């Protein structure tokens, strides 16, 4: 598994891996933001994440996801309770960006990650190249950026 190789190369360092949800650990339905709790889980990827959680105590998985409405936070938490309950509620960062907001999701995520104060190695796994690109341009915490395909093999 490529993700495991990357983690092994970092040795005993504490690693925080921020996971996007839509398109990364759940099937992305174009234009469908509602009923998140009913979204199809990507089990192959979820199993890899559980394997890392069980075998690498130096790694903490966290969620970094965005919804348009407050109810999306509730729906995403319900989904996580069902499919990835190993990720604790304090590690679930489900941010609300209202649909008509001027700030893009990429900037919301970039600002969140740039404001983290930690000595841990930070990794982000996201399917959206706009998010990865925005952080790459302004990467204050030297975050290791990976496309969702790192979870595929
Ligand atoms: Mg996504």
Domain boundaries, the chain: 2-104+114-125+142-151
Neighbours of 37 (CB within 10 A): 17
Q: In what order do the strands lie in the sheet with 92-96?
A: 92-96, 59-67, 15-19, 121-126, 144-147
Best CA proximity match to 125, nearest among 57, 12, 25, 2: 25
Q: pLDDT, tens digit, for every residue of 81-137? A: 999 999 999 999 999 998 888 899 999 999 999 999 999 999 999 999 999 999 999
pLDDT in tens, 48-77: 999 999 999 999 999 999 998 999 999 999
Half-sphere exposure of 103 (CA within 13 A, CB side): 14
Per the rule left: phi > 0, alpha: psi between -120 and 50, beta: everything else, 67 is beta
Those residues whose beta carbon sits under 5 angstroms from the ion ligand 1 are 20, 22-23, 127-128
Q: In the numeric block, which tokens belong to residue 2?
A: 């490529």
Confidence at 147, pLDDT banded by 50, 70, 90: very high
Residue 90: CB atoms within 10 A of its CB come to 7
Span from the CA of 107 to the centroid of ligand 1 (angstroms)? 14
pLDDT of 153 over the 90 cut: no
Q: What mean pLDDT, rounded, does the chain reach?
A: 94
CATH of 2-104+114-125+142-151, one of 3.40.50, 3.40.720, 3.40.630, 2.30.30: 3.40.50
Token couple for 110 = 């970039």
């Amino acid at each position: 598994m490529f993700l495991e190789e990357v983690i092994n190369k970092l040795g005993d360092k504490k690693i925080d891996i921020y996971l996007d949800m839509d398109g990364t650990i759940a099937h992305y339905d174009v234009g469908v933001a509602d009923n998140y709790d009913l979204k199809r889980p990507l089990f192959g990827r979820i199993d890899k994440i559980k394997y890392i959680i069980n075998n690498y105590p130096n790694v903490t998985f966290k969620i970094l996801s965005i919804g348009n409405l407050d109810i999306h936070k509730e729906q995403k938490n319900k989904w996580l309770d069902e499919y990835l309950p190993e990720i604790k509620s304090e590690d679930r960062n489900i941010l609300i960006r209202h649909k008509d907001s001027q700030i893009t999701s990429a900037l919301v995520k970039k600002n969140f990650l740039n404001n983290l104060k930690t000595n841990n190695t930070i990794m982000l796994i996201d399917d959206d190249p706009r998010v990865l690109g925005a952080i790459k341009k302004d990467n204050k915490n030297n975050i290791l950026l990976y496309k969702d395909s790192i979870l595929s093999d």
